[in-house]
Structure formats: C-alpha cells, structure tokens
Amino acid sequence: MPQVPPERLAEMAAAAEDSGLDELWVWEDCFFSGSAVSAATILARTERLRVGIGVMPVPLRNVALTAMEVAALARLYPGRVTPGFGHGVQEWMGQVGARVESPLTLFREQLTALRALLGGEKVTAAGRYVHLDRVALEWPPATVPQLVAAATGPKTLRLSGEIADATILTARTSPEQLRAARKLVAEGREKAGRIGPPRIIANLLTVTGPDATKRLAATQRANSSAQSVHPAEAGVAGDAHAIADAVRRWADAGADTVILEPAVDDPDLVGFVRFVGEQVRPLLT
C-alpha cells in the first residue's frame, strides 16, 4: 500500500519473499513514494520475488523518462518487473497541472511510444500529447516487459486490449463486473488483430483478523463515491480458507492474477503479507 513509508519497504520485501509469495505489487498514489524507486528497492532486497507496479499515472511523466526507468528495471532485474500504467486520478492530475483534455488519446500515444522505445526503436512522434524527435534509448532491455493498463470504463477496457499486454482492474470490481470487463478487453484485442485471450489482473480487497466483516464494509464505504460505488460483493473478509475460496471465485470469473489488497487501516501490513504467503497461498497450490 502507498501508506507504507519508504524505510519499511525492505521489511515488506523480506516478508513477501520469505513467506513464499510470487509477487509484490506497489502503487503510485499522489503524493506518496515514486513507484520506480519503490520497485527497485524491493527488487534489490530480494532474489526471486517479482514486482508489479500498479500503476504509474501517464500524465505525470514524459514517455521518454518512463521508458528510461522501465528499461533500467528490466535490465537490472530481467523477468522480475511488470510495469503498469493508468490515467491517474484526475483530481490529482489537476493539482500538478498535468490533467489533459483527452486521457484516452494520451494513453494510446504514451503506451504506443513506450513500447517502441523499449523495443530499441528510434521514435519520432507528433501526436496530440506525445512529441518525440528521433529518440532512442541507449540501454533498451533485452526483452520488453509486459505492459499493463489500468482500466475501468468501457472505452479504456477496449483500448487496453488494443495496446497493452494485460489489464489490471481495481478492487471495486466484482466477479460479475470482471466477466464483463474481460469481454470488453477481448473486443479490443480482436479489433487490433491480436491473437490469444486477454490477461486480466484483479485486485481483491482482503480483510482478516478481528472484526474483519465490519472493517471490510467500512473500507468499502470509504472507497465509494457518487461516481464509483464499491460493491459489497467486491471483497472478502475472514480466515485463510475464506480468502482462498474468494481467490478461486475471481479466477473462475476470468482473473489470471489475483492481487490481495489489504485495507488501508490494516494495523500490521507486514503481518498481512506473511499471513497471505504462509496461510493462504498453500491452500491454492
């Protein structure tokens, strides 16, 4: 969670790797820690753990800088980093003067240019937002990592199918909504002539311990707004068996990867990580 101070990242990384987890995901919320630095810190402190970034807001960065950061991570830790990208919270983008008139256009331009740069191409672009003049990375990665797009609305879900390798959904997504989202991503892939089924990454709000059910409901209410309600069925509260059962439901609905997202008020995030690795994961193998 972004509320974890940078000086605790090493502790979180050790808990994840020692408990047997496959991946640890970091966020980039304004105005917490930068995700590239957080990911690099975790990767440097571990040997096999994969790190996902979910997600970098594209309006915050010039695409050349994003390419430089992702390329460095991919070269230093090949096969261990999955970078994700999104529109960013529009209110926050407005606070820093980065809000754009057409987030979809920016998203398409950024990810298209980013993939080309990471692929070692010399890129010239004169788009609405992305402007590059014969830009090429000096140190492109040997293999371009999978690019993940965050999406909620139908237009962005279809676009993610067109231009991204995977789509990440928020913890406000119920299994029914996940099925609908997967169909829209598949439509985008078909439009772009891409082969194979979509890859869906789903966040699952997860609460355990005393008063888990009450804390889950409180977190869902706090996550809701007039524009986006957190459905009651989008989340799980209970012990390891209840959480493992929920992971299976989300997988049955079409999730290829399920990220267990703790509540913001979780009193012991390191303990949560160890609980997931030591108690939940063995029930799913």
Q: Tell me what the mean pLDDT of segment 213-228 comes to.
A: 89
pLDDT in tens, 30-89: 999 999 999 999 999 999 999 999 999 999 999 999 999 999 999 999 999 999 999 999
Any idea what DSSP says for residue 279?
Answer: I
The Cβ of residue 237 has, within 10 Å, a number of other Cβ atoms equal to: 21
3-state secondary structure of 181: helix
Q: Which residues contact 52 (CB under 8 A, 6 or more apart)?
A: 23, 24, 25, 26, 81, 82, 83, 84, 148, 201, 259
Instruction: Give me the pLDDT at residue 285, please.
Output: 84
Q: Is the peptide bond before 31 cis (omega within 30 degrees of 0)?
A: yes
Please give the Cα distance from 15 to 243 (Å, whole number): 19
Instruction: Give me the pLDDT at residue 252, please.
Output: 98
Q: What's the pTM value of the predicted model, to 2 decimals?
A: 0.95
When the pLDDT of each residue in the chain is averaged and rounded to a whole number, the result is: 96
Q: Percentage of the chain with pLDDT > 90?
A: 93
Instruction: Give me the pLDDT at residue 228, please.
Output: 82
Instruction: Give me the pLDDT at residue 9, please.
Output: 95
Please give the Cα distance from 161 to 197 (Å, whole number): 10
Q: Tell me what the mean pLDDT of segment 173-190 comes to.
A: 97
Which band of pLDDT confidence, cut at 50, 70 and 90, is reported for residue 4?
confident
pLDDT in tens, 88-134: 999 999 999 999 999 999 999 999 999 999 999 999 999 999 999 99
Q: Tell me what the mean pLDDT of segment 207-222 comes to.
A: 93
Instruction: Give me the pLDDT at residue 221, please.
Output: 92
Beta-strand pair 23-26/50-57: parallel
